[in-house]
Structure 1
C-alpha cells in the first residue's frame, strides 16, 4: 500500500506565512549571536597583532609539528569568513526551510555553534604564538582543540531552547475520503508502536568513530578522543527512534531523548505511505530537512510514513508497517475534527 499524493491534489490547510515570520525572528537573533562570537574573537586576535610572528603557524602535522604558515591577518580573515559563511548557511536553512520548530532550533544552534567554533579555533591557534619571533616549534594543545569543539555546544543548546515551539494550528479541511482508516469503536484506545533504527548511516558513523580513535592512538593525540565520543553521541541520537501513533497524534523521539517531535492529531491533514530516497529527497540519513521545509527522520531507503499537516508542513519517517500507522493517524485526525 504505497501512494504519493498527485500533483495538484495535495491536501493544504493554512499558509506558511506565520511560520516564516517566526523563523525570521528566531534566525535573526541566533545569527546575530553566532556572528558576534566570531567577530569578538577576531577583535581579540587582531589586538594581538604586535605580539605575533610575521608568519604564524596555521597547520600542524599528525606529530604536532607546524607544517603550514600564514600571516596573522590572513588567519583572522579566514576564520571570520568561515564563521560568517556557516552562520549565513544556517540562517538560510532556518529562514527558508524552517516550517517546523525542530528545524528552526537546529538552525539556531548551528549558527551559534559555528560562530563559537570558528572564533575559538582562531584564538587557540594564535594564543600560544604571542611573544614568539619564530612559530616553527609552537605546539597545538589537543585539549584546547577539544575545548573548541565542546565549549560552543553550551550556547548552542541555549539558543535551541530559546526558539519557541509551534503553536497548535488545527486543520480545518476534512481528512480526504480516500485516505486509509482503521475501524475503532467509540471509547476504544488504539496505540501503534515501532522502533526505527540502523541503516547505512549507522555503518558510516561506526567507521568514522573507529578511524578517529585509530588516528588518536597512532599520533598519541589523546585530546582527539573527544571527537569519537561526540560522534558516538550524535549517532546514538540520530539513528534510533521510537515512533508512536495514538489518539493524540504522532510522536517521534530519539532513544537518547533528543531530538523529537509531536504532531497533534488536530493538525494532521492526511497520512499516507511513500517510498523514500534519502539522498535524492533529503541529502543523507538521520534527522534531515528536505525541499520546502519537509522534515525527515530518514534512516534507510524504502517504505516511509508521510504526514501532511496544517501550515504547509510535512513529516516523513522511514519505519516498517507505515500503512497501519497512516490509517490509525487518519482515524485519529478525523476524530479530532
Structure 2
C-alpha cells in the first residue's frame, strides 16, 4: 500500500524558489547568449532555408529522376531518386540532424553542430546544381572537388560555431541547493510508519523527436542511404524509450525507469543519498536540451522544463530528474535516508 504525504512548508498558493541569478562583475560585462540549443538549431534553419530557395529556383531545371549517388574520381552517377524524393530526403536529413544536435549539444560542441549543418546544407545544393538542365540522369556528374567544397563550407561553418560558442553562457546548475547549515526538508513519519511515492512523467519533445527519427529511417532507406536508416531508427527508438518514465521514492531509495520496458534504470540506494530537494530547471538554457545529460559531478534526466527532484549523492555528485511533485519525493527520501543515518 502506498501512502503519500505532503511536506510542511509554504502555505497553499505559495511556491519555493531558488535564486539562480548569475553574479555580476567583470566576467559578465560583455554580451552573452543564453543556452546552446537555439544556437545549435540556427545553422540548420539557415541551411534549410537555403536548400528550400535552391529547390524553388531550380525545380523546373531538374530532371526526374535526379542523380543522387556518384562514384569514382570523376563522380559519374550510378544511383537515382525521384525529384520529389530527393527534395524530401534533403529536408528530412536537415530537420533530423538539427533536432538531434539541438536536443543534445553543449557549448563546447557548437562548432560540430555548425559544421554538420554546413556540410548537409552545401552537399545537397551542389548535387542539385550538378543535375541542372540535364537531359537525363546519365550526364550528371559530381566530381570529388565538390566534396572538397562541401568540406570547406563545413570548416567555415565550424569557425562560426566556435565564435558563437564563445558567447554562449549556460546555467550549469539546475538550481541552488539547500543553504549551508539548513537541514533538508523532511516528511513526518512515525517510528514504524512506511511510505512510498511514485509518479509517471513524460516528454513531448522526446516523443516527437523519437517518432520523427523512427519515421525518417524508411524515408532515408528509400533514397538509397541504407547505412543511415538503421542508425536513425535505433536513436529514435532509444528516445521514445526515455520519453516516459516512472520515478519512485521508497525504502529502496530512488528509482527511475522507462515506463514501458522498465530497463535500463537508474537506482540510488538510501545509503548513498546525502540529501534531496526540489528545484526549478530549464531544459534548453540549463541543460542544453532533453534526454539523459551528463555534466561534471552531475547527471540528469531532463524531460521538460519545470520542477525537478535533485538527489545529492555521497562524494558531492548530484542526480536530477524532472517530475511533478518533486518536493514531496525529496522530503520522503530525506526522511527515509535519515533512518539510515545519512541526512
- State TM-score, norm by structure 1: 0.47
Whose radius of gyration is greater, 1 or 2? 2
**Which structure's residues are more often helix, by fraction?**
1
